[in-house]
Structure 1
Amino acid sequence: MSPPLRKHAGANRRHLEAGGLPVLPALPLKNLKPIFLDFDDSMDPAAWARRIWWVSNGIGGYAAGAITGMNSCRSHGLLAAALDPPAGRVLMLSKFEETLVAAPRGRYELSVNRHPGTFHPEGHRYLVQFRLDPWPTFLYRIGGILLEKWVFMLPGENATVVGYALHAAPGPVRLNLRPLIPLRPLDRLTTERVADPPKCVERPGEVTIESPEVPVPLVLHHSAEWVESAPCWVRGVVYPEDRFSPGAREDLWSFGELVHLLRVGEAVAVVASTGRQGTAEPAFHQRRVENTLTVAARLQDPPGAGTLAARLSWSAEQFLVRKKPLDERLFLQGAAPTGPPAGREALIALPGLLLATGRQEPARAVLETLAREVKDGLVPVRFSEEGCFPEYDSADTSLWFIWAVWHYWKSTRDLKFIRKSLLLPMEEIIQGYLDGTLFGIGMEEDGLVVLPDETLPLTWMDAWEPGKTRSAPGCAVTPRNGCPVEINALWYCALKIMETLEEEMGRRRAATFHRLAHLVQGRFQQVFVSPTGAVYDRVLEGLQDPSHRPNALIAAGLPFTPFSKEQAARVLADAERELLTPFGLRTLSPKDGRYQGRCAGNLKAQAQAMHQGTVWSWLMGPYVSTVLKVRRLTRSVQSDLKGRIGFFLEQMERRHLGIVPALFDGDAPHAPRAGAGAEAAAAGMLLKGIQEAKLRERA
């Protein structure tokens, strides 16, 4: 059989810079600065294990890994497919072990794996540049050979394209690709199964791999000259940044190698999917993805004119997921790329991530999707990974829903949509809290909302210790039963929002909401504010909890707050003194004996630290809102906020590759938590802060 025709590199066959590397591509969004990192052969792969790239397909699937070519945790891989979009993810393809063979005797392994006590192969020695935009791109130089690798996903499909282009070489080279295949759910690990390996079927231009562990096959479309059958297990691959268990190990199976012959100016690609039909020609898929990115850019209007606003706005698209490409139901992932669709985090993110960036239609769709799921006055806090079923164990998500509707109205003045699609769910929420709803959540006679069960973490501080089984978690780490301060501030805010919207609609219930809000504010002042002006974090059976946490700041930053301006100023000063860091706010003061300055170790250790000192980046949003309430938008305040918010740009470029991680250590230098991906709430709150502080031309 004659070898297949070789296609020229197309979009990847660009002019070379003076240094011999392809020129950086133009990006479709104004002010979006390309992120790229240069390396030499002294690069330490361990030091870069937390620099993560990721791409998504809009239905919950993704590809992700470290910029060195190594997978740092068990959820990393080239194809994590959403079998029940936008959830039900399984890891189909971990990576390709790439070997470049050049005359006369050169054999160069480009991949990187961590094994106990060592790295093998050591392909990072040949990596000279990593580029994040418009998709993750790796440039390798070996003497006179320059090879480019890129990764992107096809929109709306569980399909990843991995391409290679040869830009320079003394002569033809051979590129061998050995796929490492896990075929498992995201949270599990595979071990060698000698008696029952996956089943492999080879056809022209296609290799299909099946396993009883997953219901669909992995299909590799390729243009290789031949397939070299050499089944084997790669044993003991270590995931140093694994969220479940740092240092976890896995065995990965391979059927053999896809062997390609490349000449200068040619490109090849492998399309890994769950069964799509189509070409493996790289330029065709590049044009399709480029068109999708261009359309997405046209629908954006970042709130600031600088690179931070553009980068945050650009990242927003990857949080949006649907059940299928044209489905009206739209979800936001709270933690991307591995998190399931979210409720609380989606609503906290919505004003900045969608409204501040000009995405009014997606904002409507997200609100409408969540409104349809209201049950007994509760909005889902999240959707399950298996089956995408709504889960309701939250006392604040429903109140954040009303807060998000308020921001939607302030941004669009679209009362017609609110009256038609959101008003009844909002009224159901209020009635649910008045009557009492699931988990015992409800308002007492004095007007305050009470959470009776100390075993259930129903606020945003919802960490559990891991239990003995996967389905039975252990105890709540940060009990906040009783009357939490931010829950009751959100309750007051929700009542004031309902009062205002009812007035705008000319409805008679506005007076009822006004009286109820007045009752709540009066009791709030009596219960949460001490005679000295200190604010309690929660009240339980008459006992006040003086723990210094950021929850009072959340309360102070709401559009309607039960605090006076003087009380909000006290809350702000206390937070700046003990909680504020460059990356967000600590969840507990370092002066508290329970404070834990590092969020590391196994799941239990991470859970114990998560709300006991760990920094959450989304809390910069309430901080900015409170600053503007207390100090007003003066030039001095604007300059200070410009510095604080702008600090994230450098971190996004160098440390986090365009994402805002959710969690950082409370202690300096505030390292991000192992395995932490991008957080929608953090990106959204930064965008909201840019808009509120009017940092146009500045951020």
Structure 2
Amino acid sequence: MSYLRFDKTLMINLEESLPREILRTNKSGAYHCTTIVDCNTRKYHGLLVIPVPELDDENHVLLSSLDETVIQHGAEFNLGLHKYQGDNYSPKGHKYIREFDCEKIPITTYRVGGVILTKEKIFVHYENRILIKYTLVDAHSATTLRFRPLLAFRSVRQYTHENPHANREYQEVENGIKTCMYPGYPELFMQLNKKNEFHFEPYWYKGIEYTKEQERGYDSNEDLYVPGYFEVNIKKGESIIFSAGISEASTNDMFEKFEEQAARRTPRDSFFNCLKNSAHQFHNKQGGKHYLLAGYPWFKCRARDMFVSLPGLTLAVDEVEEFESVMETAQEAIENYINNRPLNCKIYEIEDPDVLLWAIWAIQQYANATSAEQCKEKYGDLLKDIIEFIHKGKHDNLFLHDNGLLYSNGENKAITWMNATINDRPVTPRTGYIVEVNSLWYNALRFVAGMMHTGDKAESIFADSLDELAKTTAQSFIDVFLNEHGYLLDYVNGQPSDWAVRPNMIFTVAFEYSPLKPEQKKRILDITTRELLTPKGLRSLSPKSIGYNPNYVGPQILRDCAYHQGTAWPWLMGFYMEAYLRIYKTSGVSFIERQLIGFEEEMRKHCISSIPELFDGNPPFKGRGAVSFAMNVALILHVLKQLNKYY
């Protein structure tokens, strides 16, 4: 039995199949994403979605979908599926699906009378190309396949509609055509490995609707351009490959490339392997730089997300060299930032006050995975530079006070991971002494001090100064954040304290170095368990706190109000589980294993074999937001790695 196989009963039930999405990336920013029945439900969906740096910094949908038609004895059976106004679906090709399996590569099996046809998709790594292999498993008479491409040539943020400016011209290439709808875009090459006939029959498919955009309160209607169709005969047992890319493919090499790419895929035959495959999809190598995207399908490389995700997406799957490769790009960006030079890369939000501290945390995980000596040799100077940059008050919004705590102004601008805004104002205006910023600060002081104590006299003196500062920070942290109820205040600004119970206090228990005593840690863990824990993550706000809003639904403004006001976040659960293991050690393993069951269930839901951005904070804890989120995948992998120490 395949780990990720879906039978006919589920596939033909659109209430079950349409919410399930499939994502494949090329590790260079391009991707293929749709539902498991190949019906696009988002404007971000498409067979070939690629960055076009000549136009902007967004991804662009070139090939939206490909409708296949099986022809026998003059009868046509269209396997495509699109939604139109009034909840109308056409051509309803999903009724021919007998099985969908994506354990290794996505493979759909269709049955049309006596015809059994399989479709397998490969998104080629480091190339803007998708390959689709069709195999006629069984047929009792002559069979023809027709392929009708639906083109968009537009940003993922926009829609296309019928217009007189679209270029209808095309040129023939080997076993196919190339075309480009608008200036500035690359040419799209569509080819088959076998000689075929292309029939020029330009037409606009009008009024295609995307249900996920409707749910989110956005415009949801577009027209797609069809230049014509390809027809090719296929025999029983024969396989045919369709290629779509921005360069001409060698039709003689298509099978070899398909098989070579398929052989390199890790089967998604377990919870860990699903997450490992998902981890690989966030890597983005462009222009000699190595980034980690924050999520799919709409996120870019955000500095905080990158550093929080980096250990889990690399070290937790035993890919130390990948950590170092990403860190090489990140280190250059950090050094440029602290020296007030242009970043010269596509890393965003590096100026947020907690980002450099998360970078230190990520490097700390590298030291734990390799050795302190190796870590110091590679990143010792960077660690020292970051600490001195903060200590000397050079950060625009990170101020070290005499009590050893860091102060940041977040009244008018969202400055932490709780970054939802309405009319450019933060929904959760966290300002002053922020709990996780100072948890990160204390942990960083102790970690860097311990590393520098192994150096020369100058480094030892520097380490001593950090230890002294850490002592002051520890006492002030307890005085400022720990309240009489035994949990930590989320932020303190000299005004009446905000008593809301939020998950950011869990970092202080999870980090390797903490200013708290064991009994204080346990009390915080107990309160977190009681008020914030769900099967899908930690709530961003306790149901007992004012403003609790657990359901991330509706138009943008309503979703922004709920984003950090009660929704559940799996990456926070990762730190919670690490905190739990720090306190309970071996006796806590069975509890952690039970918590992970809730995430293994997600491998067959939402985005198959990945974890979405967030979940509603109340039952049934429905997945919401981006279909695949880097921090969530990373922290679950990080916990799985920690569990290995106890087996």
Query: With structure 1 as the length reference, what TM-score do the two structures score?
Result: 0.86
Q: Which residue of 1 aligns with 2:513?
A: 560
Q: Which residue of 2 aligns with 1:367?
A: 327
State the Cα deviation string for residues 109-151 of structure 1 (Å, max 9, x = none): 1111111121112111111111113221111111211111121
Q: Which residue of 2 aligns with 1:500?
A: 450
| Pairing 1:582–2:535 present | yes
* Equivalent residues of 2:418, 2:564 under 8 A apart: yes
| Pairing 1:207–2:188 present | no
Q: Which residue of 2 aligns with 1:94?
A: 64
659, 665, 688: which is aligned to 2:616?
665
Alignment of 1:217-236 (within 5 A): 217-222=187-192, 223=194, 225-236=196-207
Judging by fraction of residues, say which structure has more helix: 2
CA 1:684–1:196 in structure 2 vs 1: closer, same or farther (change >3 Å)? closer
Q: Which residue of 2 aligns with 1:264?
A: 236
Q: Which residue of 1 aligns with 2:285?
A: 322
* Equivalent residues of 1:377, 1:430 under 8 A apart: no
Q: Which residue of 1 aligns with 2:44?
A: 75
CA positional deviation for 1:361: 0.7
CA distance in 2, matches of 1:420, 1:616: 35
Q: Which residue of 2 aligns with 1:310?
A: 273
CA distance in 2, matches of 1:389, 1:665: 29
CA 1:213–1:523 in structure 2 vs 1: closer, same or farther (change >3 Å)? farther
| Pairing 1:135–2:105 present | yes
CA positional deviation for 1:279: 1.9
CA positional deviation for 1:628: 1.6
Q: Which residue of 2 aligns with 1:279?
A: 251
Worse-matched range after superposition: 638-647 or 254-263:
638-647
* Equivalent residues of 1:84, 1:388 under 8 A apart: no
CA positional deviation for 1:239: 1.1
296, 313, 316: which is aligned to 1:356?
316
DSSP-derived class of the 1:548 partner: coil
DSSP-derived class of the 2:644 partner: coil
CA positional deviation for 1:414: 5.5
| Pairing 1:173–2:143 present | yes
CA distance in 1, matches of 2:259, 2:595: 38
State the Cα deviation string for residues 217-243 of structure 1 (Å, max 9, x = none): 212122352111111111111111138
* Equivalent residues of 2:47, 2:63 under 8 A apart: yes
66, 78, 81: which is aligned to 1:112?
81
CA positional deviation for 1:514: 0.3
| Pairing 1:161–2:131 present | yes
CA distance in 1, matches of 2:165, 2:50: 26
CA distance in 1, matches of 2:225, 2:120: 23
State the Cα deviation string for residues 269-320 of structure 1 (Å, max 9, x = none): 22111124422764222222034337xx9xxxx9xxx932232223222222
* Equivalent residues of 1:57, 1:156 under 8 A apart: yes
Alignment of 1:435-450 (within 5 A): 435-450=392-407
2:200 is aligned with what amino acid?
S
CA positional deviation for 1:333: 1.7
* Equivalent residues of 1:371, 1:379 under 8 A apart: no
272, 292, 302: which is aligned to 2:264?
292
CA positional deviation for 1:348: 1.7
2:489 is aligned with what amino acid?
Y
CA 1:696–1:72 in structure 2 vs 1: closer, same or farther (change >3 Å)? farther
| Pairing 1:639–2:590 present | yes
1:556 is aligned with what amino acid?
V
DSSP-derived class of the 1:156 partner: coil
Report percent identity of matched pairs: 26
CA distance in 1, matches of 2:335, 2:597: 40
Give the number of equivalent residue pairs: 638
Alignment of 1:412-561 (within 5 A): 412-413=370-371, 415-416=373-374, 418-465=375-422, 474-506=424-456, 507-508=459-460, 509-561=462-514
CA distance in 2, matches of 1:82, 1:436: 38
CA positional deviation for 1:389: 5.2
| Pairing 1:392–2:350 present | yes
CA positional deviation for 1:649: 1.8
Worse-matched range after superposition: 404-413 or 604-613:
604-613
DSSP-derived class of the 1:182 partner: strand
CA distance in 2, matches of 1:185, 1:78: 14
CA distance in 1, matches of 2:336, 2:17: 47
CA distance in 2, matches of 1:410, 1:47: 43
CA positional deviation for 1:199: 3.7
CA 1:389–1:348 in structure 2 vs 1: closer, same or farther (change >3 Å)? closer
DSSP-derived class of the 1:638 partner: helix
CA positional deviation for 1:204: 4.4
CA distance in 1, matches of 2:416, 2:376: 28
* Aligned-pair Cα RMSD in Å: 2.6
DSSP-derived class of the 1:152 partner: strand
* Equivalent residues of 1:73, 1:240 under 8 A apart: yes
CA 1:682–1:129 in structure 2 vs 1: closer, same or farther (change >3 Å)? same
DSSP-derived class of the 2:77 partner: strand
Q: Which residue of 2 aligns with 1:471?
A: none
| Pairing 1:241–2:212 present | yes
1:478 is aligned with what amino acid?
T
1:410 is aligned with what amino acid?
N
* Equivalent residues of 1:638, 1:695 under 8 A apart: no
State the Cα deviation string for residues 459-480 of structure 1 (Å, max 9, x = none): 1111223x5xxxxxx2222111
CA distance in 1, matches of 2:327, 2:216: 32
CA positional deviation for 1:180: 0.7
CA positional deviation for 1:671: 0.9
CA distance in 2, matches of 1:316, 1:160: 20
1:202 is aligned with what amino acid?
E
Worse-matched range after superposition: 443-452 or 688-697:
688-697
CA 1:501–1:166 in structure 2 vs 1: closer, same or farther (change >3 Å)? same
CA 1:640–1:489 in structure 2 vs 1: closer, same or farther (change >3 Å)? same
State the Cα deviation string for residues 5-42 of structure 1 (Å, max 9, x = none): xxxxxxxxxxxxxxxxxxx8xxxxxxxx6411112388
* Equivalent residues of 1:368, 1:421 under 8 A apart: no
Alignment of 1:19-30 (within 5 A): none
CA 1:431–1:84 in structure 2 vs 1: closer, same or farther (change >3 Å)? same
* Equivalent residues of 1:115, 1:236 under 8 A apart: yes
CA distance in 2, matches of 1:71, 1:151: 16
CA 1:165–1:236 in structure 2 vs 1: closer, same or farther (change >3 Å)? same
CA distance in 1, matches of 2:571, 2:635: 6
State the Cα deviation string for residues 582-616 of structure 1 (Å, max 9, x = none): 11111011222311121122222222211111111
CA 1:269–1:70 in structure 2 vs 1: closer, same or farther (change >3 Å)? same
625, 632, 635: which is aligned to 1:682?
632
Worse-matched range after superposition: 652-661 or 475-484:
652-661
Worse-matched range after superposition: 226-235 or 40-49:
40-49
* Equivalent residues of 2:70, 2:77 under 8 A apart: yes
CA distance in 1, matches of 2:554, 2:243: 36
DSSP-derived class of the 1:455 partner: coil
DSSP-derived class of the 1:559 partner: coil
CA 1:236–1:651 in structure 2 vs 1: closer, same or farther (change >3 Å)? same
Unaligned runs of 5+ in 1: 1-23, 25-32, 468-473
CA positional deviation for 1:206: 2.7
